[in-house]
Structure 1
């Protein structure tokens, strides 16, 4: 079912806005709407525009809190935003000297890291870097070249050039090295290396000794800097621990007010012409059960006023949808959300889906042993992981177990337990005919739900003239009656009755658009292009009549899967050589696991397909918007 909603407006002095959000919106579930859009008829409304005064100080508080140990608990302490800001600013000021030192050390650490990164590939070069950098008559270039070009260079070019390339390191893509060339020929040689995509790496004059010596020296310097940063972090923690309670409490206050500030985007602001005072207005939806408590709280607040709206005609926004179902049906809300939430004035199909899905699953997958495995496995997984799908599997497994008793099937053994109804493989036609009859009943129920939805929405076309309205229902039921009479050997009704119960519904569906316009007293009954209207209506009606047949036949898959399950388990029994009296236990277990896993998955998908395409398409639109209260943020 869908919870009833009430539309409310909360107003008060602009200075009280943060308190109202913090007290009322954090206590009660209110789905906020844009006040400017909803109150268009109110004059002198303006957006509630302000600069967030909590943003910077909250950022500071977050940095301070991040320095605490993760297990440090938050403290609930009565504190105003100004007090909280003062606590955070004071703590940040006391840490300025340490944070400045840490900042400069981080810059030094990053610089040393970059130096290490540059020199690391050249560690095998056994010559002092500082001496190479002082060469005057010989030019040098550090860099890297891909293996593809390096191989071509080594084979075809290297021996003909006045250059020396010293390979230092390599990986799967590149070769790192340094090449030397006489100063008089460097332009020509550089051009050749550039054509081979040699990527030059510039080495700064900060290295001492060979690359290996420089690497070790800089690594030691970096480790010393990292150690100093850790020491400063410890000093910062030591200073903060003395104020931990106040800082954590201030952070929670600023966090709430910083988050509350965003509510201004949905609020409107107006001015009292008599006193020139500014007032805010908040609009939104609240569940009917919480209205009385909220109104009672606000009545005791001298500066704040709350107004409830019972007439939804003047409200632009549609009421949000909040589903409320029995605990047993609640997991099936997942399927509803996947398709789309029901509109506020629609019937919540969760109960319908929960019952029909579980029942159809059981009919298609009837086995006592495998059903019990689904019940226990799904329940255990739901208890551990709280996955809604696991609960659905467990509930569907109950119906599989029940239908297993009806079929007399236990882990594929067809004679292990008494048969409560019939054996699918021994009554093929009965199973298929019952499946179609069962599907036809579900289609009729879906049509009835569609008519109820039409009544709730006051939609004349949906109630009377729609293919799933009264006209479609009469036609479909009459068609089923005729089929039943033929199969049972009885005579069909009189021609006049057939003409009435078939002809009138077809005419109503054919002329549904003009008839709707006539009932609603619109000036234009028929469209301008009447010829096109008749052609389109004819083909639409032909498609509708065909869909009644195909939708009903689609439920043959319910019986077909019941037969398929019995047939697959028959194959398992044959492979396990059960008839010999000495069955292969391993094959039995493996076969049951395979059938339960594969067929269970396929059946689950097929049942969902029947729900969505054969039933939902007749009565459900799924155009609702979810109830998202500010409190949940």
Structure 2
């Protein structure tokens, strides 16, 4: 079912919005709408664009307060001013320690960058610092891709006055240093550049080989890490002296900061002295009533409830609330489209019909129990809605398994309480012999189509849609037309040809004409002038083809339900094949491994196919008659701590 919504306008003094949001709105679900958009007809309103005053102090506090800081102590006298004072005093006491930490962090970053640059050249067993004393030789540290290095080594290297010292290589690059006479540096550098040689700058303040320099840097990095750990301990010790107070102050300002963000939805009045905020939004009816009751004695908060949705610019959001048994089937409804607020929630209809049709198409006691237990297990462990749907379908699979007398494909273990899908036949006039489950499936489909039409009529009447209720293909006219076709077919097939003919000739014409001329008839009932695009002639031609399409759709929709019986028969046939392969035909003893594997295959494959086919029947044959799914979800505002 769709939860009934109320549209609220909340107002109060400008500076009280944070208290109101934290004290009241944090307890309730409300989808806020932008007040300026909703209150277009109200004059002298402006946006609430003030900057959040708590962001900076909370950002600074996050640098020295632990992320999981928490206290169970209560500070009922905490105010914004007191919380800011507590945090600023703590920050002042920690300024020197924070500066030291920032200095250490900068040194550590520089040390790590030096390590990263020198690490690939540890294979160079030469004093890096001594390279600075070269006067007639130039050198370059860097890397080149393996592809270009191979070409360079094979075709170019021997023709240049250069020495390339390879230090290390990985999957992509070769790292090394090349030497070149100073007089030829420009020419050779250009050749290396054409080979996409990437220059890497090596710090020159270290003595010894690259390996020794890397080792020294590693020691420095460890020393810096140790110093930062000690500094963090000192900061924690300072914080620990006022831990509860700091935690309460930070939590209080975080809550106020979260409440402040609600201002982007608010509008302000333009008075100079008494400025008020206005918030608008949708709230579930029961919560709206509780909210109104709670603020009865609050002299600074006022609420107005708008009961007439026609005076509201935004459309009501949709929040579904169904019994726990039906709730997993909301997944299928949302896949098609969430119901609009003025529609009917089809979740219960889907839950009952989907599980029932699935069971009729896949009736087997053993496999049904597997689906039931497997679905319940996965739902308990993983909370998967699809698992709950499978479990529900398994209940009806088990039920129809008893009706068909099928147990893991064995047809002689249980006695059929109703019929055997493959064997049951009946004789119909004109048609002759026909499988009973096919006939029952078509009759059941007719019943579901008529039910969908009734749901359409209910929704149309609820929305005061005259044309949809009376003259639509799925309205009263369509219901009467299709209902008498169903009655005629049942009478004819049961041997009562004369009354069936009378109904077909005398009764069906009127509702068919009502559907054909629904636009002018609706205009007549609403006392309006009919608007016929293209004139009367074009309207009649268009109506003719529309009626042909309507009749065709009635026929095809009804015939689609034959698949219920077809799958019931095919399941029995598939399991018969499994029994033949296992050697169990005619009461013989066969291979149980083949039985197990065959049942697993049929259960998985046919279960998937039947599940999709039932969903197709729901969407195309039933939903299309009464359901649009054009709603948008209810998204309550959440106050997030920063």
Superposition TM-score, scaled by structure 1 size: 0.93
Change in CA separation of 1:585 and 1:66 when aligned onto 2, cut-off 3 Å: farther
Q: How far is 1:299 from its partner? A: 1.5
Q: Structure 2 residue aligned with 1:614, among 612, 621, 634? A: 621
Deviation at 1:126, TM superposition (A): 1.2
3-state SS, counterpart of residue 286 of structure 1:
strand
Q: Is the 8 A contact 2:359 2:394 kept in 1?
A: yes
- Higher deviation after alignment, 337-346 or 349-358: 337-346
Q: Distance in 2 between matches of 1:582 and 1:497?
A: 57
CA deviation after TM superposition for structure 1 residue 632, in Å: 7.9
Partners of 1:25 and 1:631 within 8 A in 2: no
1:515–1:525 Cα contact (<8 Å) kept: no
> Which of 457, 461, 484 pairs up with 1:478?
484
Paired residues for 1:220-369 under 5 Å: 220-271=219-270, 276-369=273-366
CA contact (8 A) 2:129 2:207 kept: yes
Measure, in 2, the Cα distance between the counterparts of 1:529 and 1:84.
Answer: 75
Alpha-carbon distance in structure 1 between the residues aligned to 2:444 and 2:75? 62
Distance 2:225 2:538 in 1: 81
8 A Cα contact 2:485 2:504, kept in partner: no
- C-alpha distance in structure 2 between counterparts of 1:564 and 1:632, whole Å: 55
- Alignment match, 2:138: 139
Alignment correspondent of 2:198? 199
Cα gap change, 1:253 to 1:567, in 2 (>3 Å): farther
Inter-partner Cα distance in structure 1 for 2:202 and 2:638: 57
SS in 2 for 1:424: coil
- Aligned counterpart in structure 2 of residue 598 of structure 1, from 581, 600, 605: 605
1:555 aligned to 2:561?
A: yes
Instruction: For 1:586 and 1:212, locate their aligned partners in 2 and report how far apart those are by CA, in whole Å.
Output: 65
How far, CA to CA, are the matches of 1:404 and 1:495 in structure 2? 39
Q: How big is the shift at 1:220?
A: 1.2
Q: Residue in 1 aligned with 2:636? A: 629
1:11 is matched with 11
In structure 2, the partner of 1:458 is 464
- Partner in structure 2 of residue 113 of structure 1: 112
Give the Cα separation in 2 of the matches to 1:124 and 1:508: 93
- Alpha-carbon distance change, 76 to 449 in structure 1, aligned in 2, over 3 angstroms: farther
In the other structure, the counterpart of 2:443 is 437
1:241-295 per-residue CA deviation (whole Å, 9 max, x = no partner) reads 232222222232222221211221222222558xx31111222233232343322
Whole-Å Cα distance in 1 between the matches of residues 90 and 25 of structure 2? 31
Deviates more, 1:575-584 or 1:235-244: 575-584
| 1:190 shift after superposition | 1.6
Q: Give the whole-Å Cα distance in 1 for the aligned partners of 2:471 and 2:456.
A: 12
* Deviates further, 120-129 or 373-382: 373-382
Shift of the alpha carbon at 1:60? 3.1
Q: CA deviation at 1:472?
A: 1.9
Query: Residues 530 and 43 from structure 1, CA distance in 2 versus in 1: closer, same or farther, beyond 3 angstroms?
Result: same
More displaced stretch, 612-621 vs 480-489:
480-489
**Secondary structure class of the residue paired with 1:269:** strand
Q: Per the alignment, do residues 89 and 605 of structure 1 end up closer, same or farther by CA in structure 2, a change over 3 Å counting?
A: farther
- 1:446 is displaced (CA, Å) by 0.8
- Aligned in 2, Cα 1:399/1:149: closer, same or farther, shift over 3 Å? same
Residue in structure 1 matched with residue 432 of structure 2 by the alignment = none
TM-aligned CA deviation for residue 631 of structure 1? 5.5
In 2 relative to 1, CA 550–62 (structure 1 residues): closer, same or farther, beyond 3 Å? farther
Q: Show CA shifts across 1:76-131 (max 9, x none).
A: 54332332222222222222222221212111111111111111111111111111
Any conservation in 2 of the 1:482–1:492 contact (CA below 8 Å)? no
Task: Answer whether contact 2:164 2:178 (CA < 8 A) is retained.
Answer: yes
**Unaligned 5+ runs, structure 1:** none
Do 2:65 and 2:239's aligned partners in 1 also have CA atoms closer than 8 Å? Answer: no
Query: 1:232 is paired with a residue of what secondary structure?
Result: helix
Question: Secondary structure in 1 aligned to 2:473?
Answer: coil
Aligned counterparts of 1:66 and 1:364: Cα–Cα separation in 2: 60
Aligned to 1:51: 51
Question: SS in structure 1 opposite 2:609?
Answer: helix
Return the match for 2:400 from 391, 399, 403: 403
Relative to structure 1, is the Cα distance of residues 60 and 441 closer, same or farther in structure 2, using a 3 angstrom cutoff? farther
Aligned to 1:27: 27
Residue range with higher mean Cα deviation, 412-421 or 250-259 = 250-259
Distance, in Å, in 2 between the alignment partners of 1:292 and 1:544 is 47
In structure 1, C-alpha distance between the alignment counterparts of 2:114 and 2:538, rounded to whole Å: 78
Moved more, 621-630 or 219-228: 621-630
Note the C-alpha offset of 1:494.
7.8
Task: Output the CA distance in 1 between the equivalents of 2:132 and 2:524.
Answer: 95
Task: Please show how residues 366-385 of structure 1 align to structure 2 within 5 Å.
Answer: 366-385=363-382
- Quote how far apart the aligned CAs of 1:549 are: 1.5
Distance 1:495 1:197, change over 3 A: same
Q: CA deviation at 1:368?
A: 1.3
Matches of 2:152 and 2:269 in 1, distance apart? 78
Separation of aligned partners in 2, 1:244 and 1:584: 72
Deviation at 1:391, TM superposition (A): 1.7
Cα deviation, residue 238, structure 1: 2.2
Q: CA deviation at 1:205?
A: 1.6
Answer whether contact 1:366 1:407 (CA < 8 A) is retained: yes
Task: Name the CA shift for 1:595/1:89 in 2 (closer, same or farther; >3 Å).
Answer: farther
CA distance in 1, matches of 2:320, 2:28: 17
The alpha-carbon deviation at position 204 of structure 1 amounts to 2.9
Matches of 1:629 and 1:165, distance apart in 2: 66
The SS at the match of 1:179 is strand
1:449 Cα deviation from its structure 2 partner = 0.4
| Structure 1 residue 197: Cα displacement | 1.7
Residue equivalent to 2:158:
159
Are the aligned partners of 1:121 and 1:176 in contact in 2 as well (CA < 8 Å)? yes
Q: Would the alpha carbon gap of residues 125 and 533 (structure 1) be closer, same or farther in structure 2, given more than 3 Å must change?
A: farther
Query: How far 1:75 sits from its partner (Å)?
Result: 5.8
Question: Counterparts of 1:99 and 1:543 in 2: how far apart (Å)?
Answer: 78
Partners of 1:95 and 1:578 lie apart in 2 by 84
Report the counterpart of residue 526 of structure 1 in structure 2: 532
Instruction: Kindly state the Cα deviation for residue 352 of structure 1 after the two structures are TM-superposed.
Output: 0.5
Q: What is the alpha-carbon root mean square deviation over aligned residues?
A: 2.3
Instruction: Indicate how the Cα distance of structure 1 residues 413 and 243 shifts in structure 2: closer, same or farther if over 3 A, else same.
Output: farther
1:442 shift after superposition: 1.0
Alignment correspondent of 1:101 = 100
Does structure 2 conserve the Cα–Cα contact (< 8 Å) formed by 1:144 and 1:199?
yes
- CA displacement at 1:198 relative to structure 2: 1.7
